[in-house]
Chain A
Amino acid sequence: MWRALRLSGAAAAIAWSVFPIAMVVLSSFKPQREIFAIPPQLVFAPTLDNYRRLVTEWPAFFPNMLNSLIVTTGATLLTVLCATLAGYVYARFRGRILALSAFFMVLVRMLPPIVVTLPLFPFFSWLQVNDTHFVLIVLYAAFFVSLATWIMRAFIDQVPRELEEAALVDGAGLFQVLRMVVLPLVVNGVIAASLFVIVYAWNEFIFALVFTTRIARTTPLVMSEMLSTTDGVDWGVLFAAATVQLAPILAFILAAQRYVIAGLTAGAVKG
């Protein structure tokens, strides 16, 4: 009885989280006129028509997905690089200045991102970098470097410092120690830290809306345009686009599930 209750609870919870996703993925293989068929049809002849039209009618979609890929990669590299360096210092050293700077890192995390769009828009314009991948990379990194630093600090904390000391005695420099000794032991931390940036950068909407128009436009932005076109929403194409956009990131999250838990514990709860 108790178990049956638990199982039905789990079933309801899974339905809640998976139903909208499943509907969209399924509908992306439906012919246009059947998408809104009532009652909804679960059995239908699947078609790739929506995907074909995605390619022909939205030629910008795949180049924009490449933009997303570039921005996500860039932001992840930048974040992890900065976070590993800083996380190492916070894990290994103590002092008032460090405490103050660490507090500052936590503090700025509280500021709403939309706030910085106002001054940064003219500033990036002055630097002539509006509508470039660079802008998004730097923005995304700035908003995630603090969480990532906390994750890296937690992981580096667990690396026995004797190993470093041994290397230092052998005459290695600080960067050699970091690269040869510490980094290989905190790969899990790097994955956990990257994960959050990757999901964020791949899906981010508001910075992309404000700072990109054409050249660096990312996938969520094209999709928002599909939601408001002259001829009404072409749901089939939109669903095809959504499926293409979410498939890789969903697979990634599911595969890296345990790192999400580790990262959240290290970055949010302990920080």
Chain B
Amino acid sequence: MTAGAAPLTAARPAARRARRLPGGTRPGASHYALLAPAQILLVGIILLPAIYVAWMSLQKVSFGADPVFVGLENYRALLADSVFWRAAWNTFLVVNAVVYGELLLGLGLALLVSGWMPYRKIVIALLIAPYAINEVSAVAMWRFVLEPDIGMVNWAMLQIGLGQLDWSADPADALVLAALLSIWIHTPFTFLILYAALQSVPQEIKEAATVDGANAWQSFRHVTLPFILPALLVALVFRYITAMRIFSEIWLLTEGGPARMTEVLAVYLYRAAFRYHEFGLASATAFAMVLLSLAVAAPYLYAAWLKMFRHA
């Protein structure tokens, strides 16, 4: 099979490399057809709309009226809007808190569970339970235990003199709660990736390190960490990209209030589009989010690019 298709393009270096690989067969027309459904979905539902958003961000659009080309006017309005900057800043704060909080927690849990642990399977099952919970339920759960004065966690915190998490009045506390919620829902993802990576650390090397007199930290730092670093980075990038989309947690807790102080980019976009009907401004926000996501993903994308074309 491998040799069958390769000679046709044997002169090209890529093909020569491909021939060395077990799966280096050239696809035929019918194989491209197999890709079509997936690609059509992606192009039709994600790529074209994203391009259209870029175009819309240069127009003034509202109900019933024909769009008018306004150049970069929407971007100018966006950058001049203090609420946008606050939303961007809030997003930045929440995303970083969430991503690193989760990474630490996920790593801690993964190390804990992959060591000595009775009933490991059940423990893992309980730890990943939040993954199954929808955001509305999660918000309801956390609101319930943190209801001002009467929620049991706030009540308990008041009892022991900690003061309460005043999310319904204090914008900072609201963001803290949104971040907590987000960490709670998404930690299972990070935990599982890191747990799976830990399973791949060869036991012999660890044991060798211990025999050589390495303590727990040295063994982790010099043996385990290098092995799980790729997974760690993948989890990091992935969570950065998905955390930036944060919407429901904020929307269902505060709708961005008080005083639009807890808005994040996605909430800003939703308001611009569906409350103020300023689709141009909303599109500019959307495109800004796209660029931001791509910028964050750039290292990952670059690595993916290299890997894919190495095998091409």
Contact between chains at A106 and B231 (CB < 8 Å): no
Q: Is A227 a contact of B140 with CB atoms below 8 Å?
A: yes
- Which chain B residue lies CB-closest to A120? B49
Closest to A105 in B: B42
CA A96 to CA B305, docked complex, whole Å: 11
Contact of B31 among A89, A111, A117, A123 (CB under 8 A): A89
Q: Mark B271-309, 1 if CB is under 8 A from A, else 0.
A: 001100001001100110110011001000100110011
Within 8 A of A (CB), among B131-145: 131-145
Given known contacts A92-B23, A253-B129, is B241 in contact with A114 (CB within 8 Å)? no
Chain A residues within an 8 Å CB radius of B244: 112
Q: Is B177 an interface residue (CB 8 A)?
A: no
* The one of B1, B142, B305 that contacts A165, using a Cβ cutoff of 8 Å: B1
For residue B17, which residue of chain A has the nearest CB? A94
Contacts of B234 in A (CB 8 A): 268-269
Q: CA–CA, A9 to B118, complex, Å? A: 13
Residues of A within 8 A of B78 (CB): none
Task: Let me know if A16 and B35 touch, CB within 8 A.
Answer: no
Interface centre among A104, A118, A224, A235, by most B CB within 10 Å?
A: A118
Q: Per a CB cutoff under 8 Å, which of B49, B152, B273 touches A40? A: B152
Determine the chain B residues whose CB is within 8 A of the CB of A27 once the complex forms: 144
Is B50 positioned at the interface, with any CB of A under 8 Å from its CB?
A: yes
Q: Report if B206 contacts A (CB, 8 A).
A: no
- Counting CB contacts under 8 A, is B252 at the interface? yes
Q: Are A246 and B45 in contact (CB under 8 A)?
A: no
Mark each residue of chain B from 138 to 159: 1 if its CB lies under 8 Å from any CB of chain A, else 0. 1111111101001110010000
Chain B at the A interface: SS class: helix
Given contacts A106-B301, A111-B293, A142-B45, contact A96 B309 (CB under 8 A): yes
Q: How far is the CB of B148 from chain A (nearest CB, A)?
A: 12
B residues within 8 A CB of A167? none
Task: Say whether A264 faces chain B, with CB atoms less than 8 Å apart.
Answer: yes
Q: Any chain A CB within 8 A of the CB of B56?
A: yes
Q: A172 interface residue, CB < 8 Å from B?
A: no
Report how far A64 CA is from B269 CA in the complex, Å: 27
Residues of B in contact, count (CB < 8 Å) = 108
Which residues of chain B have C-beta atoms less than 8 A from A98's C-beta?
27, 35, 312
A93 within 8 A of B: yes
In the complex, chain A residues whose CB is within 8 Å of the CB of B208: none
Given A92-B23, A93-B31, A210-B274, CB of A107 within 8 Å of CB of B301: yes
With contacts A23-B145, A112-B293 taken as known, whether A269 is within 8 angstroms of B231 at the C-beta atoms is yes
A246 adjacent to B132 (CB under 8 Å): yes
**B116 at interface by CB-CB < 8 Å:** yes
Q: Which residues 75-113 in A have Cβ within 8 Å of B in the complex? A: 78, 81-83, 85-86, 88-89, 91-99, 101-108, 110-113
- In the assembled complex, how far is the CB of residue B182 from the closest CB belonging to chain A, in whole angstroms? 13
B141 touches A224 (CB 8 A): no
When distances are taken between beta carbons in the complex, the residues of chain A under 8 Å from B34 are 85-86, 88-89, 174
The one of A93, A210, A264 in contact with B27, judged by C-beta atoms closer than 8 angstroms, is A93
Q: Is the CB of B131 within 8 A of A253?
A: yes
Is B144 a contact of A235 with CB atoms below 8 Å?
Answer: yes
Q: Which chain B residue shows the least CB distance to A16?
A: B184
A157 nearest CB neighbor, chain B only: B23
User: Residue B187 at the A interface, CB < 8 A?
Assistant: yes
B93-101, B119-127, B167-175 - interface stretch: B119-127
Residues of chain A at the chain B interface (Cβ within 8 Å): 3, 6, 9-10, 13-14, 16-18, 20-21, 23-24, 27, 36, 38-40, 78, 81-83, 85-86, 88-89, 91-99, 101-108, 110-120, 123, 138-139, 141-143, 145-146, 149, 157, 161, 165, 174, 199, 202-206, 210, 219-220, 223-224, 227, 235, 238-239, 242, 245-246, 249-250, 252-254, 257, 260-261, 264-265, 268-269, 271
- What are 7 A-B interface contacts by the 8 Å CB criterion? A6-B115, A99-B311, A161-B1, A174-B34, A227-B143, A235-B144, A261-B195
The 5 A-B residue pairs with the shortest CB-CB distance in the complex, in nearest-first order: A203-B134, A142-B45, A99-B312, A20-B141, A93-B27
